Structure 1
């Protein structure tokens, strides 16, 4: 039920994000050519934004979705002559789908001839479904209303006032050397490695779930069933392996709905991480999870579900019966695994990359960790003797997870505070809350206090003492960070930035640097001092932005370069502060869509998209004072790469000055 609530939350935010996304990557037009009194040629043209591609009607099965035309009233008012023809396409092998895909770049042209069956028909409707991809894929529909007499279908134009037109034009830059930006508009060193991090988090989560009272006692019971209740040992091992495979499959299948609804561009991550009320919603949900782990209530899926699955496994038998057994395990263990999966979902919203892909990677890791013991103990049943006995230690595991859930909950509340500019959860307050949580966890682990579902008081086990000491050490680390004896680099991205402090600071920029938060002001100063510009598209709730600032910008070789050799312009694309009324306006894209620019974040988010064809953060661009691009854009990179990138930009700036 809790996963369902989270899923619905993401579903509705996906819908609202789709309505707020930036410019449509493909703009469509159509033409009509009359061939005879009854025959016409329809031409559909799509202008595709740089870096994006649209799939052909005839791309290979098993790969991405093909384009598909639906001609309304065909067979009644008119008939099609031959197949829909296409302009030149590109073919490329997909490592993901292992097929050769066919697609268009920059422009797609489709041509279809028709013959009228009813001479009175002068208008037809055609719907085009297509998939357009860059870093993510967006399914889209385009409705063509076609007049055969050549008059066309004219949509009502939205007119803008002169002030909106002028302010909209001021957002567009006359950039020089724009070709230096690579095809995707970014160079990012994380890429696929981030999926392995999420996979690892999922795997660790699965290992922790194994130690909970909902799962651990099931291991010897299930393994014994497979090894003793079957006619021969090899069949028992085979069924146990199949059981493990089905566990992985079930958790993989749980992630698929997020792919179906992930029909927006890469801005989805920014929207999830910066939507105030969604972050508050996550906070409430994770607090709810935590107190269930503390034993104040038990949350389970309806028992009838488990009974039905168990009954189905007995009736059908064979491989299908094993599948229902695995599904029964997933249902009955939900009270322990649900909050862990919720934490995994929360981690994916804070990680860089595609939410659905991250979640799938984490779910597979989680399922694999759950499945391994069932397969391994079935193959080596003697190992069962080495398993510790079930007992109160499993309750301790749940309580520790509850404290971790609470810590993650306050990260989401901090995001809401930062984006909403509430000024409540400053850096020191956030750290104090974490100190309190981990001190309480330490006291619990050393038996100072107990929760309702704890058993009789016993001597502390060595493992509990070790975890207690680690919790105490982490509490001390947090306290040292609170008084600035350490920079808390291990937590980069989690606490609010250092300048978001209860103590007044000289600068409201990262690391005390001088920065401008208005592009025009920053450019004017750069021209005055003749220094290149480091343009920083960032966000209050951007985890990787904080990691870059605290781990990379703080490096002793990089910090002085930014401080002394560049003019830093930091533009916060998630800033929800309203612009002064005189600066609010409507921006009209080339496609005719109009977007209201009412907040600082909307202004700089639109500015980033129309000038750099990018929508994610962090995003760094080097510019000369006369707006010449000095190097390719970068996102999340390591210290060495960032230093070379900054120095290369300086060299190019100095060369251009000496010409």
Structure 2
């Protein structure tokens, strides 16, 4: 409604006649027009505003009127530039229901430009401004104006001593195609090295273990003796021999498995792209799709229905795989992988999702390790067929594995449903509801294994063995251990996977408790910098996410530590969420990319009130002393504190 009213006022202004209440001029600060190549040049862009009129600051929050946008036209003598805005007047606009930022009478914007080292000839610097002028009763349509100033270059020209006043703030959105450098830097910052939160080897071993675990699913285990016997028959060997000639067929079969799953890894890598972790990991649509897939898999494993590939496709694949030779065996491996996906999918899914939390080809490496774990027993049993006779027989235990896996898959599904809830900020899946559902979902397999939940795989007169009782006890203990979380208790590492308690800001209760009033902000960097100037403190900028597990872990387990809270008392803390669907998240992610050349989260930076970078910390850490040392960084220690990133 407010936008409609604004449009109507603009049209009325057009009808009433042309008005031009704002005049713009561009001039060098202190009339310094001669610059040494590579030095900084400072310009003031002055808006002279007629009485009764006002225009809106570049940092007016989104969802309101049209803001003032300033940019310099492309010029080979300029390497980069920053725009700073003066302190505006903030007040609530009743039409937009937000605090707008306005200027009246006069506004002087400052432009800090870094000149090219190769600049030599004199040049005209042109600034373009798009803005909207309004009174209390009408607004003019947005207009674009330009203003220009001359600059010349002389080697050895003295550098000016001008510095940006403290009451000026950097305009966050970069108007240039070039990355905007950090205030006080002579050039754009170097790219922050991306570091995986976990080493690659443990991930590969985990993926290999997942592949071995997939062998014990009902879709795979019964096929082991049948498939290996096929290899032996092809080579004329028997299951009683110590060594077999069927290893070549088995090797080709394993290659078919590896090709399919590694191809899946390549597909995920291509979709994720260079910054896939944020776009895929936090997208509500991706998380919602994953939740639906896991829900379907879970119900299928619990016996609600059976997932099958189209019969026509299976018939064609089976016919092709029976042609004999190595080509037929390769197709047999592909067919086996596809037909077993109903059971393997719930295991592959979390592995793929975990793999996109690192850049590069980790999904490919993860799927390669998974496929190797799944395929290795087929090859080894074909090489040593006598061990086939020692495999446990298929039976009721496989049905029990399927049922238990179904409950676990439904629990994992809730995690991705929670991601959707947090990113969209609907807050209906609260911590209490989430944990209540998890308590039930992890108690049900325990009750089932104890024979107290009538489902297939366990009969009333079945004897309760030691192994079944032990596994049931583990599920029951885990379920009970979640109960303190319903009443505000901490759950350790599990806090990273569940929503924060009601009344706190996504794990920031510890941060808010440590911070003095007016020392914690969410998505308000300018306000945090203003508070830093008033209180003479440094600013801890926390680029974080609603659906970022590692971010939640840091907030739940690192920030509450006494020594960390003590350090936070001397700082202004601002959380900048980058993975939401709102304008704040888009602006925060763009700021992180432009200022630090990364979009990874969590990412921490300590700034002074003038936005000079003191130190950066680009990842999760479980070492409190390491994080405390970062928080204790002081001005002048930038080179030393960033050295740890190399």
Structures share fold, TM-score greater than 0.5: yes
**1:569 aligns to what?**
574
**1:240 aligns to what?**
250
**2:223 aligns to what?**
218
Q: 1:187 to 1:252 in 2, by over 3 A?
A: closer
Conserved? CA contact 1:507–1:513, under 8 Å = no
Q: Distance in 2 between matches of 1:406 and 1:455?
A: 24
1:348-427 correspondence to structure 2 within 5 Å:
348=355, 352-354=357-359, 357-427=361-431
Conserved? CA contact 1:189–1:636, under 8 Å = no
**2:131 aligns to what?**
161
Q: Distance in 2 between matches of 1:187 and 1:567?
A: 26
Conserved? CA contact 1:526–1:532, under 8 Å = yes
**1:441 aligns to what?**
445
Report deviation, 1:561: 1.2
Q: 1:465 to 1:511 in 2, by over 3 A?
A: farther
296, 303, 311: which is aligned to 1:303? Answer: 311
Structure 2 unpaired stretches of 5+: 1-73, 81-115, 117-127, 134-141, 145-167, 175-179, 238-242, 641-646
Q: 1:650 to 1:248 in 2, by over 3 A?
A: same
Greater alpha carbon shift after TM alignment, 549-558 vs 386-395: 549-558
Q: Distance in 1 between matches of 2:256 and 2:598?
A: 40
- Is 1:469 the equivalent of 2:473? yes
1:152-301 correspondence to structure 2 within 5 Å:
160-162=130-132, 169-171=171-173, 175-176=182-183, 178=185, 183-186=190-193, 188=195, 190=197, 193=199, 195-231=200-236, 234-263=244-273, 265-266=274-275, 268-301=276-309
**1:334 aligns to what?**
341
**How big is each residue's C-alpha offset from its partner over 1:429-470, in whole Å with a ceiling of 9 and x where there is no partner?**
211111111111211121111335766752233322221111
**1:494 aligns to what?**
497
618, 625, 628: which is aligned to 2:612? Answer: 628
How many residue pairs end up in the alignment? 472
- Is 1:553 the equivalent of 2:538? no
SS of residue matched to 1:557: helix
Q: Distance in 1 between matches of 2:544 and 2:288?
A: 21
Report deviation, 1:543: 1.1
Q: Which has the higher contact order (CA 8 A, sep 6+)?
A: 1
1:44-55 correspondence to structure 2 within 5 Å:
none
Q: Give the TM-score normalised by structure 1.
A: 0.64
Report deviation, 1:385: 2.4
Q: 1:169 to 1:402 in 2, by over 3 A?
A: same
1:94-113 correspondence to structure 2 within 5 Å:
none
Q: 1:379 to 1:649 in 2, by over 3 A?
A: farther
Conserved? CA contact 2:189–2:596, under 8 Å = no
1:454-465 correspondence to structure 2 within 5 Å:
458-465=462-469
**2:48 aligns to what?**
none
**Largest Rg, 1 or 2:** 2
Report deviation, 1:279: 2.4
**2:628 aligns to what?**
643
**How big is each residue's C-alpha offset from its partner over 1:167-220, in whole Å with a ceiling of 9 and x where there is no partner?**
9945458734548997322563626x1x44543443333223211121111111
Q: Distance in 1 between matches of 2:361 and 2:413?
A: 23
Conserved? CA contact 1:403–1:438, under 8 Å = yes
Report deviation, 1:627: 1.9
Report deviation, 1:556: 3.6
Conserved? CA contact 2:272–2:280, under 8 Å = no
**1:314 aligns to what?**
322
SS of residue matched to 2:308: coil
Conserved? CA contact 1:301–1:334, under 8 Å = no
Q: Distance in 2 between matches of 1:621 and 1:503?
A: 23
Conserved? CA contact 2:546–2:577, under 8 Å = yes
SS of residue matched to 1:360: helix
Greater alpha carbon shift after TM alignment, 338-347 vs 611-620: 338-347
Q: Distance in 2 between matches of 1:187 and 1:367?
A: 27
Q: 1:546 to 1:506 in 2, by over 3 A?
A: closer
SS of residue matched to 1:340: helix
Q: Distance in 2 between matches of 1:531 and 1:168?
A: 18
SS of residue matched to 1:558: helix
**How big is each residue's C-alpha offset from its partner over 1:263-305, in whole Å with a ceiling of 9 and x where there is no partner?**
4x41x32222333333233222211110000011000112333
Conserved? CA contact 2:446–2:472, under 8 Å = yes
SS of residue matched to 1:570: strand
**2:91 aligns to what?**
none
542, 545, 549: which is aligned to 1:543? Answer: 549
Conserved? CA contact 1:198–1:361, under 8 Å = no
Conserved? CA contact 2:443–2:479, under 8 Å = yes
Q: Distance in 2 between matches of 1:177 and 1:635?
A: 25
Structure 1 unpaired stretches of 5+: 1-28, 32-46, 49-106, 108-157, 578-598
Q: Distance in 2 between matches of 1:171 and 1:311?
A: 60
Q: Distance in 1 between matches of 2:487 and 2:567?
A: 28
Root mean square deviation, CA, Å: 3.6
Q: Distance in 1 between matches of 2:422 and 2:259?
A: 38
Conserved? CA contact 1:620–1:634, under 8 Å = yes
**How big is each residue's C-alpha offset from its partner over 1:44-63, in whole Å with a ceiling of 9 and x where there is no partner?**
xxx99xxxxxxxxxxxxxxx
**1:530 aligns to what?**
536
Report deviation, 1:509: 6.5
Report deviation, 1:512: 3.6
**1:603 aligns to what?**
587
Conserved? CA contact 2:294–2:410, under 8 Å = yes
Q: Distance in 2 between matches of 1:625 and 1:387?
A: 68
Q: Give the TM-score normalised by structure 2.
A: 0.66
